[in-house]
Every structure is written in C-alpha cells, then in structure tokens.
Structure 1
Amino acid sequence: MTPYLAEARAWQESWDRQQETYLPDREHRFAALLDAADAVSGDGPLRLLDLAGGTGSISLRALARRPDAQVTVVDLDPVLLTIAEASLSGRAAIVTADLNRPDWTAALPHRGYDAVLTATALHWLDGPRLASLYREIHDTLRPGGVFANADHMPSDALPTLTTRLTERARQRRAARHAAGAAQSWAGWWEQAAADPTLGPLVEKRRQIYPTGHSPEWTPPASWHLDALRAAGFSEVGVLWRNGGDAAVAAVA
C-alpha cells in the first residue's frame, strides 16, 4: 500500500464517519441498493453505475461483494472523485460529468448497465431536471436492469410522524457535533481545505459551486414513483424506508 493510497483510504473513512452522523442507517440503505443490483445481475459480472458516487462508498461495497464487478463512478466534485480514484485503485472507471446537463451520458464508457445506484445525492437537483434525469438513467440500463435511489423522501401517509422523527434525528446530530463526538459537513470540508493534496482541489470545487449546491429539494416518495413511471420504467416501488428517508427502485 502506497502512502498516498493509505491517505486516500483514511479520507474515505473520515467521509463515511461524517456522513453517518447525518445517516445513521447508511449501511442499511447501501445494503438494500446492492441487494437489488445483485438480484438482477445474473451469472456474469455485475455492470454497475455509481451515480453521483462521490468518494466511491457504494462502489467499494459493491466490489467487496462482487470483486469482478465492472464499476463506473460518475460525479462532478474534484475532491471526492480524487479520493474515489485513489481508494478504488484502478478497479473502477472514474467519470467527471455534470448531472445538470443532459449530455452527461456521453462520458460513460458504455451503456447497458445492470444497475444504476445512487444515495443521498440527487436532492440537489430541482424537479424538472430530476424528472429528465430519470429518463436519461432509463436509457443507460439494459432491459431488466434496475435503478435505485435512496434519499430524503418524506412519507405521504405519516407526515406528522415523519417530521417528528426527522427533528429528533437533527437534535441527536447537533448534540454529537457540539460535543465533538462526530465531525460536521462544514468541519470535514475545512479539514480537506487544509490538506496539502486536497486543498487545491477544494478551491477548484469552490469555482464549480461558487454559491454552494442549490437548496435541497425533497419531495415524497410518491413523486419519485410517478416520475419513474413517466420515465418509462416497467416496475416502480419503495425498496426501503426508515423515518423520513426511503429508497425507490425501478426496473427498466
């Protein structure tokens, strides 16, 4: 293991720990997504697109399950993609693309993916763009392939309870950050900015997102199911839920 690879894996671990303060059930949602991918993959190598994949958290777990998987990681963030590329060390194709642009699929190394998976990332897109993206994702899958998206998706049926559960989670997270038990999102990025390797990339990231990401847009799961049906998927449904978060799945 080279020193740089060891450093990248440490950054990957710190990203996972920081994310877990916001998503204590993060491993459960990953497992649900990967189970869906396994279910449709057949006997050959799994061909997986890790969409808005960041540091490659999903890809690393997919390769731990399926070492022969053919993985593509797509993201725009230069910091997170640098960590992903080093952590995955040649086991995945790394693609820089902007999901706000309809031509993002042109950068993919191939089509006909068995599965397209994404987690807690697409809430940065607005409704019209996300609906269009779902159609574009459909076109990247082989017939019978699966798309799964785990994100903040409030329950239509339990709006009051979902709100209270979300608030309880926010309070627990704030207490952990205040006590120094876990690192916050802002704290992680401050630490990355001070790193000799990642610091210049943090500045590049600021140029890509000069005002930060757009405000989060988190419609209920029913909106996603309707948009996926309109995008041409043959089967759509809720794959997993916990509190205000859910994973929707759709079969091409």
Structure 2
Amino acid sequence: MTTTAPSDWQSWQTSWDRQQEWYMPDREERFRVMIDTVEAVTGPTPRVLDLACGTGSITDRLLRRLPGAHSTCVDIDPALLTIARGHFTGDERVTFTEADLTQANWTEHLPHASYDAVVTATALHWLDPQPLRHLYGDLAGLLREGGVFLNADHMRDESAPRLNAALHTLHSERQERQRRQGALDWADWWHMASDDPLLAEATAQRFALLGDPRRPKPDGGARQDRPTATRWHLETLLGQGFSEARQVWCSASDALVAALR
C-alpha cells in the first residue's frame, strides 16, 4: 500500500487516531465517557496521569474538555512520545515522563506523588496477569482518597457467544471494506512513520526497545493467558486497594472500567 507521510505533529496525531479507529470505530465514544467520569469525580481542574499515553490522544481530549486540567503523560515508546511532545509543544499543562510500567520503581519518575485521576486506553492488555495486578496496586497508591482510575481496553463478556460472533463478523467485514478504501492498519502506520525523517531516529529506537511492528507476529503477539474478561479486572482492582469498581461503558470487544480509591 502506498501512503504519504504526514508533514507535521498534528497530522501525525490525526493519522494515529485514524489508524486506531480502524480497529475501534467507537473509540471517541469511550473517550467521551472516560472524561465524563473524570469530570464527575474530580471536577473541572484535575491533576491527571495519562498512563501509557502513546501520542497523547486522551490528554488531547481531556484538555479540550477540561482546559483547567493538568496531565502527566508517561510512556516508554520513543516514537509515540516524540509525536506527543511535538503535538503539545509549549503547553505548560502537559508534562512528559519516560518509564517502564513493569519496573518496581516506575512511580519514582513521576513529578507528583498523587493524582486525582489515572486514565489509560488500549495499552494494559500487553501485560501478563501478575505485572498487571502489581500495577493496579501501584495505581491505588498513587491516587488520592476518592480519586478515580479508568481503563479502556480489550475486555470481553463471554456470556453470549452467538452475539459476540455476529458482531465480530460485522466488524471484520467493515474493516475489509475500509482497507480496500485505503485505511491503514498497525503495520502500515509504522512503515509510514519509519519513512519520515521527523521520526526516523525515534522509530529506530522504538524497534530496538520494543520490537518492530512492521513485521507483526502471526498471532499478533497475544498471550492466551492474559486477562480478557471484564470481571477479572473489576475483581483485581477491588483486591488491590480500590473501594469501588464497575464497568461504565462497553462494546462487543472492549470495555471501560472505573475504580474509586
């Protein structure tokens, strides 16, 4: 597939959003519900930790909705952080931190000891159960009393397999049509990014650190023992120090869970 690379940071941010929406057409809806929940719990001027922030998609929407908010964006991906830093250049409400969430001391890299809200999307499914359980405990320790954690990710309700299959078929057929019309997938996007001189150094660092997504594994890199059930996340959050946890939004394949400290 022939593509033309974006020419500025806003265009890179937009191209990332479009690529992600090919996988998750209801992505904006879950962001809306996420920020609704942040505002409902914390008010209009929260201190927010954007966990595994990528290009800063959540922070971008957070600050447009709640201009009095401040966000700490943390990630380990050099390429996505380069786009995020470029996109938010000059915005004093946004701070960036590089950290590996699987390391025991990752919270020491943060500029603040506590936050009103922690938000994340389509990121934590890469973690195995035990590291994810530990991370949930870390987040309970970072949130102030009454603060909220929100995780939008691939979580399934397996109680209705025929409905799930029908919805999966519809989604797959829609994706195939969009691909024929030029939609980028994960590998396409990274090919485009690595070809842009703006991102050449950062993408090379990313490939060395995290692997080369231009050549995805046959199984997508997924591990069958990673948590996929919404119930697992809710029960684990309650077990790691949160006082309440519930699903606040879902699609056929994804869910948004909220937990109060």
TM normalised by structure 1 equals 0.92
Change in Cα spacing, 1:211 to 1:86, as seen in structure 2 (3 Å) is closer
Distance in 1 between the 2:47 and 2:221 partners? 31
Q: CA deviation at 1:139?
A: 0.8
Question: Whole-Å Cα distance in 2 between the matches of residues 236 and 154 of structure 1?
Answer: 16
> In the aligned structure 2, how far is the partner of 1:163 from the partner of 1:224?
23
Deviation at 1:211, TM superposition (A): 6.5
Separation in structure 2 between the aligned mates of residue 168 and residue 154 of structure 1, nearest angstrom: 16
Residue type at the aligned position of 1:210: G
Partner residue of 1:86?
86
Listed one character per residue, the Cα deviations across residues 11-37 of structure 1 (whole Å, up to 9, x for unaligned) are: 000000111100100000101111111
**Offset at 1:218?**
4.5
| Contact 2:128/2:227 (<8 A) preserved | no
Aligned to 1:47: 47
**2-structure distance, mates of 1:59, 1:175:** 31
Which range is displaced more, 203-212 or 23-32? 203-212
Match of 2:72 in 1: 72
Q: Where does residue 139 of structure 1 map in the other structure?
A: 141
Q: Which residue of 1 aligns with 2:236?
A: 227
Asked if the contact 1:151/1:246 (under 8 Å) is kept, the reply is yes
Aligned to 1:18: 19
Could you say which residue in structure 1 is the equivalent of 2:222? 215
Runs of 4+ displaced beyond 3 Å? 210-214
**Percent of paired sites with the same residue:** 44
In the TM superposition, 1:57-68 aligns within 5 A as: 57-68=57-68
**What amino acid is aligned across from residue 60 of structure 1 in structure 2?**
D
The 8 Å contact of residues 154 and 218 in structure 1, kept in 2 or not, is answered as no
1:180 aligned residue? 181
The farther-off stretch of 237-246 and 87-96 is: 87-96
Which whole-Å CA distance do the structure 2 matches of 1:132 and 1:32 have between them?
Answer: 26
- Write the distance in 2 (CA, Å) between the matches of 1:47 and 1:59: 11
Residue correspondences, number? 246
Q: Which has the higher helix share?
A: 1
Shift of residue 111, structure 1, vs aligned partner: 2.3
**SS state of the match for residue 105, structure 2?**
helix
Partner of 2:121: 119
1:77-96 Cα offsets, whole Å, 9 max, x none, are 01100111111124310111
Distance 1:69 1:87, change over 3 A: same
The one-letter code sitting in structure 2 at the alignment partner of 1:225 is L
Say whether 1:191 aligns with 2:192.
yes
Which residue of structure 2 lines up, in the alignment, with residue 244 of structure 1?
Answer: 253
Query: Within 1, Cα distance between the matches of 2:234 and 2:203?
Result: 35
Contiguous gaps of at least 5 residues in structure 2? 1-6, 214-219
State the 1:112 CA deviation. 2.0
Q: Which residue number corresponds to residue 3 of structure 1? A: none
Which letter maps to 1:49?
L
SS at match of 1:232: coil
Report the alpha carbon displacement of residue 197 of structure 1 after superposing the two structures with TM. Answer: 1.4
Q: Counterparts of 1:205 and 1:211 in 2: how far apart (Å)? A: 8
RMSD (CA atoms): 1.8
Secondary structure at the aligned position of 1:102 is classed as coil
Mind listing any 5+ residue stretches in structure 1 that lack a counterpart?
1-5
